Amino acid sequence: MNEVNFKNASELSSLLAEKKISARELMQAQLDRIRAVDGKIRAFLSIDEADALAQADAADARRAAGTTLGTLDGVPVAIKDNIAVSGQPCSCASKMLENFVSPYDATVISNLKKSGAVIFGRLNMDEFAMGSSTENSAFAKTANPWNTNCVPGGSSGGSAAAVAAGMTPLALGSDTGGSIRQPASFCGIVGFKPTYGTVSRYGAVAFASSLEQVGPMARSVADVAALYDVLASPCSHDSTALPGERTPTFPQLSAPAKPRKIGLPKEFFGGDSAIDEAVKKAAAWYESQGCEIREISLPSIDLAIPTYYIIATAEASSNLARFDGIRYTHRSARATDAIDIFAKSRGEGFGEEVKRRVLLGTYVLSAGYYDAYYLRAQKIRSLIRSEFEKAFADVDLILAPTTPETAFPQGGKTADPLKMYLGDICTVPANLTGLPAVSLPCGFDASGMPIGLQLIGKALDDGNVLAAAHAFETAHDFSGRIPTIEI
Ligand code: GLN
């Protein structure tokens, strides 16, 4: 292990600025680390090493010429395999897109390029971001760096594991129902789902468009904030991206923390007792800093899982209709006519979970069932949103567990999809409501697996959410811990 492997992006940025390390040396150190541990972790689906090193050389040339672009110039950022980078594969960990190479950049990637960051690697994920364990990838199962028999979480399990194992300081994930926060929690890192509409979805392969956001993952809140500030922007290609310039969150981290009212929603507790305890301890710490802690209730949270799985599958059934074997996707060699191409290509190209969701989503949208399921779910979504609005009239921030349990053994839930879905109970509410939410480490359970603390804020209060998380992080040492990977 090279000493730079576990340095945060902010430290790397200073080392680059002081010319104590070059961007090439830094990128090479990450590639060496990947070579050493990724055979065991399997976070990356592929890496274009020559391209990564060429980008690093370009960053070094800018620095030598005095034209450095920003604080992330020369810092590596690895990318979840559902975010388009021009000239790179974008398979969504699906056989359907196994040979697809993106012809364009997602807006978040264009933004990163403008920052000078070195964009490298394709990170494993659940197929089309559907899952909570990265076991639904068509290509590899990613292991949790804290215990390689356990899952890293999902769907951004490759992103979380890569960051936790020191293979990259920064990664992008996407969060439709918790896919940034839950794997961040399972792997002991920081992951942030921004307010809906602050980050462009253009070039992020759509699963459930009304729920998802691309977001940053890193080993510190400050790094997550710095990366978010690069990602967030208006976007003329995404009609759901909010107009207007974004207020940078990074400068807000060092603003003096004001005493705030923090709500603990009772419906989020009652899972693993070690998690409840760690989160309540975090609440007590905020109280010791002058915050007022209130127990609050969000009574419709028990409907969040069915509501999410109706809306998400309905949107997925529509979004995934484009993968038909006719255009750029897998085409069955056994097909004879057009209908046969659709059926056989989709049958061969999609994995079991994706098919389950397309079927479920088609069902809830079908005439006769639309009112009973889809429309009802939309009404409950509004109800949940209004309960959060009411809660936020009284409190500034909501504090809760990220997950009801820590990382579970591989294979532990694959036979029972419902059991897998129920684990999303603490994360889906922020997607149904569009609210910003961060997960950061707040302890470890008896078997040494990381525990995540979730902070949920008001819409567009991203800076305050990250500032509150940063205050907790700097007063504790949970984020600095490094897993030992036996190779
Ligand atoms: N686990 C959730 C699901 O399977 C969330 C996925 C996500 O956020 N992409 O739908």
pTM score above 0.95:
yes
Gap from CA of 173 to ligand 1 centroid (Å): 12
The reply to whether ligand 1 has any atom less than 6 angstroms from the CB of 177 is: yes
Residue with tokens 């559907």: 130
What tokens does 312 get?
Answer: 């998400």
Nearest CA-CA partner of 447 in 274, 190, 271: 274
The pLDDT tens digits of the residues spanning 111-124 come to 999 999 999 999 99
Q: Which residues pair with 439 in a beta bridge?
A: 191, 454
Q: What percent of the chain has pLDDT over 70?
A: 99
* Whole-number Å distance between alpha carbons of 147 and 153: 12
DSSP string, 393-429: HH-SEEEEES-SS-PPBTTSSTT-HHHHHHTTTTTHH
Provide the CB-side half-sphere exposure for 381 (13 A, CA). 21
Bigger pLDDT: 258 vs 24: 24
Mutate to test the pocket of ligand 1, among 80, 127, 132, 352 (most ligand atoms within 8 A of CB): 132
Q: How far apart are CA 179 and CA 156, in angstroms?
A: 5
Residue pLDDT, tens place only, 416-452: 999 999 999 999 999 999 999 999 999 999 999 999 9
In degrees rounded to 5, what are phi and psi of residue 335?
Answer: -80, 150
**Averaged pLDDT, 28-49:** 98
Contact 308, 300 (CB under 8 A): no
User: Which two tokens mark 56?
Assistant: 């690093």
pLDDT in tens, 251-271: 999 986 676 999 999 999 999
Given the residues 10, 132, 179, 479, the one annotated as active site = 179
Q: Is residue 189 a contact partner of residue 217, using CB atoms and an 8 Å limit?
A: yes
CA separation for the pair 242, 265 (Å, rounded): 29
What is the structure's pLDDT at 225? 98
pLDDT tens by residue, 158-181: 999 999 999 999 999 999 999 999
Q: Which residue's CA is the closest to the ligand 1 atom numbered 10?
A: 130
Q: How far is the CA of 212 from the centre of ligand 1 (A)?
A: 9
- Quick check: 128 and 121 in contact, CB under 8 A? no
pLDDT band at residue 2, thresholds of 50, 70 and 90? confident
Q: Which of these is catalytic: 7, 80, 193, 344?
A: 80
pLDDT in tens, 114-157: 999 999 999 999 999 999 999 999 999 999 999 999 999 999 99
CB-count burial class (<10 Å; 0-12, 13-18, 19+) for 393: exposed
Does residue 159's CB lie within 6 angstroms of at least one atom of ligand 1? Answer: no
Residue 247 near residue 464, CB atoms below 8 Å: no
Is residue 191 within 8 Å of 217, Cβ to Cβ? yes
Strands 437-444 and 450-457: antiparallel
Tell me the pLDDT band of 328, cut-offs 50, 70 and 90: confident
The helix (run of H) or strand (run of E) holding residue 317 is helix 304-319
Spatial separation of the C-alpha atoms in residues 412 and 5, rounded to whole Å: 31
By the 10 Å C-beta count (0-12 exposed, 13-18 middle, 19+ buried), 93 is classed as buried
**Summary mean pLDDT of the chain:** 97
Query: What count of other Cβ atoms lies within 10 Å of the Cβ of residue 62?
Result: 16
Task: Say if residue 411's pLDDT is above 70.
Answer: yes
| Residue 255: burial class (beta carbons within 10 Å; 0-12, 13-18, 19+) | exposed
Query: What confidence tier does 480 reach under pLDDT thresholds 50, 70, 90?
Result: confident
Q: Is 254 marked active-site?
A: no
The answer to whether 266 is a known catalytic residue is: no
Report which of residues 241 and 258 the model is more confident about: 241
Question: Could you give the CA distance from residue 409 to residue 487 in angstroms, rounded to a whole number?
Answer: 19
Res 481: pLDDT: 85
Where do the structural domains in the chain lie, given as residue ranges? 9-258+437-480
Lowest mean pLDDT among 58-62, 94-98, 258-262, 319-323: 258-262
| Average pLDDT of span 456-474 | 97
N- to C-terminal Cα separation, the chain: 12
191-238 residue pLDDT tens: 999 999 999 999 999 999 999 999 999 999 999 999 999 999 999 999
% of the chain residues with pLDDT over 90: 97
226 lines ligand 1 (CB under 6 A): no
Is 210 labeled as catalytic in the residue annotation?
no
Residue 186 makes CB contacts below 8 A (sequence gap 6+) with 144, 150, 151, 152, 153, 157, 160, 403, 406, 407, 449, 450, 452
Beta bridge partners of 144: 147
Instruction: Please tell me the number of Cα atoms within 13 Å of 466 on its side-chain side.
Output: 34
CATH superfamily, region 9-258+437-480: Amidase signature (AS) domain (3.90.1300.10)
How many Å apart are CA 11 and CA 20, to the nearest integer? 11
Contact 40, 83 (CB under 8 A): no
Tell me if 105 CB under 6 Å of ligand 1: no
**pLDDT beyond 70 at 280:** yes
Going 167 to 168 to 172 to 173, the CA torsion angle's sign is positive
Cis peptide before 200 (omega within 30 of 0): no
- List all residues 6 or more positions away from 270 whose beta carbon is below 8 Å from its beta carbon: 276, 404
Q: Scanning the structure block, which residue is given the tokens 């388009």?
A: 84
Q: How far is the CA of 132 from the centre of ligand 1 (A)?
A: 6
479 pLDDT tier (thresholds 50, 70, 90): confident
Task: Determine the pLDDT at residue 257.
Answer: 64
d(CA 129, CA 206): 9
